[in-house]
Structure 1
Amino acid sequence: MEKLTFYFFALILIFAASRVITVKNPVHAALFLVLAFVSSAAIWLLLRAEFLALALILVYVGAVMVLFLFVIMMLDINLTTLREGFVRYFPIATLVGVIILVEMVLVVRVWKNPPDPTTATLTAKSNTQILGQALYTDYVYPFEIAAVILLVAMIAAIALTMRPRRQKYQQPEHQVSVRREDRVRLVNMPAESKD
C-alpha cells in the first residue's frame, strides 16, 4: 500500500511540475506549483521526514507561493514572452534532468545499503525530535549566531526602506496674507467675430 501511495503522489508531482512550465496563465502555473509542493511534502511524509514535509508546506506553500501570487497579480506578468526560448533551451534542460536522474539513482543505490548500528538507535525517536535535540544541544551557538544575523538583516532592511513622512501643515498666517494679485491673473482676449 505504501508503494502505491508513493506512485500516486509521484504521478501527481510529475503532472503538476509539467503543468507549471506548460500552462499559459501565470496564476495557474503558481497554483500548479503549490500542488507540486504539497505532493512532494506527502512523499517526504512517506519517507518519515516529517520536519521537511511540514517545513515545505509552511515555508514554500504558506509564504513563498503567497508572495509569488502577489507579485504575479501585481505585475501582470505575461509568460508567453518568457516562454519563447522554451524549445531553444530544451536540450540543456534535458541534460540537466538526466544529470539529476543519475544523481538520484546513485543516492538510492547508496541508501539501499544496510544502515550501520549507530543509526539504528536514532530511529526510536521522531525526525523532528532528533533534529531539535541536535540543533539545540550540539549546534546551539551557530543557531543563535544565525538568528542574530537574521535579526540584524531584518532591522537593516526595515531601516533602509523607511522614509520620513512629509506632512503638510496649514499655516494660517500665509493663508490670510494672500492677495488677489498673487493668485488671479486676468487675461484680455479679443472676441472672435463670425462673418
Structure 2
Amino acid sequence: MILFSVFSSIALVSSVMVIRAKNPVHSVLFFILVFFNTSDLLILLGLDFFAMIFLVVYIGAIAILFLFIVMMLNIKIAKIHENVLRYLPVGGIIGVIFLLEIFFIVDNDYIPILPMKLSTTYLTYTVYAEKIQNWTNLETLVAMIGAIVLTMHKTTQVKRQDVFRLLRMFRKTQE
C-alpha cells in the first residue's frame, strides 16, 4: 500500500507538472516520468506484460517522438503562455466532469469485475471486438490532422512559382 501511494502521488505530481512546466521539453520529461510511475503501478497490480508494453510503446516510442518534435518545432514559449488563463474555465469544467465520472464509476455496482486470470483476453475482446476498423480510422484521422496542423505556417514570405509562365519561358528557350 505504501508503494502504491508513493507511485501514484509521484504520477499525480508529475502530471500536474506536465501542465505547469513553462518549457515544453521539461513538460515532455515530466510526461515520461508519469509513464514510468504508471508502469510501476501496473507491476504492483500484477500486470507485468502491460507494464512492459507500457514502457516500450509509450516511453520508447511516443514520448521520445514527442521530445524530438518539441525540440525541432522551435516553439516560442512566451507565445504559448500568453493566453493560458483564457482556457482555465474550460479546463475546470472538463476536470469537474471527469471527477463526476470517477465518482459514478466507483459507486456503480453494475460494472462487472473481470476475472484476474483472463483479464487480458477479456479486456482485449471488450475494447477491440468488432471495432478495430473504427479505432484505426480514428487514429489515422487524428494523425493526419496533427501532421497538417504542425506543418502549416502562416507566413508572408513564401516564394511561389507560376508554372505556366515557366513553361512559356522554357518553350521560348527551345525555339
TM-score for the superposition, normalised by structure 1: 0.56
CA distance in 1: counterparts of 2:5 and 2:61, whole angstroms:
28
When residues 114 and 88 of structure 1 are mapped into structure 2, their CA distance, relative to the original with a 3 A threshold, is closer
Q: Which amino acid aligns with 1:31?
A: L
Per-residue CA shift, 1:14-47, capped at 9, x if unaligned? 2111111222222111100000122122233334
Query: Offset at 1:83?
Result: 2.0
Q: Which amino acid aligns with 2:60?
A: G
Query: Offset at 1:128?
Result: 4.0
When residues 48 and 99 of structure 1 are mapped into structure 2, their CA distance, relative to the original with a 3 A threshold, is farther
1:87 is paired with a residue whose SS is helix
When residues 131 and 20 of structure 1 are mapped into structure 2, their CA distance, relative to the original with a 3 A threshold, is closer
Residue 104 (structure 2) aligns with = 106
When residues 99 and 131 of structure 1 are mapped into structure 2, their CA distance, relative to the original with a 3 A threshold, is closer
- Residue 21 in structure 1 maps to residue 22 in structure 2: no
- The correspondence of residues 1-195 of structure 1 with structure 2, limited to 5 A, is 2=1, 4-110=2-108, 122-123=115-116, 125=117, 127-128=119-120
CA RMSD of the aligned region, Å?
Answer: 3.4
2:86 is paired with a residue whose SS is coil
After alignment, is 78-87 or 14-23 more displaced?
Answer: 78-87
Per-residue CA shift, 1:61-98, capped at 9, x if unaligned? 11011111111122222233112221121121111111
More helix by share: 2
Larger radius of gyration: 1
CA distance in 2: counterparts of 1:45 and 1:100, whole angstroms:
25
CA distance in 2: counterparts of 1:69 and 1:114, whole angstroms:
38
Contact 1:44 1:53 in 2 (8 A): yes
Contact 1:6 1:43 in 2 (8 A): yes
Count how many residue pairs are aligned between Structure 1 and Structure 2: 136
Contact 2:22 2:81 in 1 (8 A): no
CA distance in 2: counterparts of 1:98 and 1:43, whole angstroms:
25
When residues 114 and 64 of structure 1 are mapped into structure 2, their CA distance, relative to the original with a 3 A threshold, is closer
Structure 1 unmatched ranges of 5 or more: 154-195
CA distance in 2: counterparts of 1:41 and 1:104, whole angstroms:
21
1:77 is paired with a residue whose SS is coil
Larger RCO, structures 1/2 (Cα 8 Å, 6+ apart): 1
CA distance in 2: counterparts of 1:16 and 1:71, whole angstroms:
20
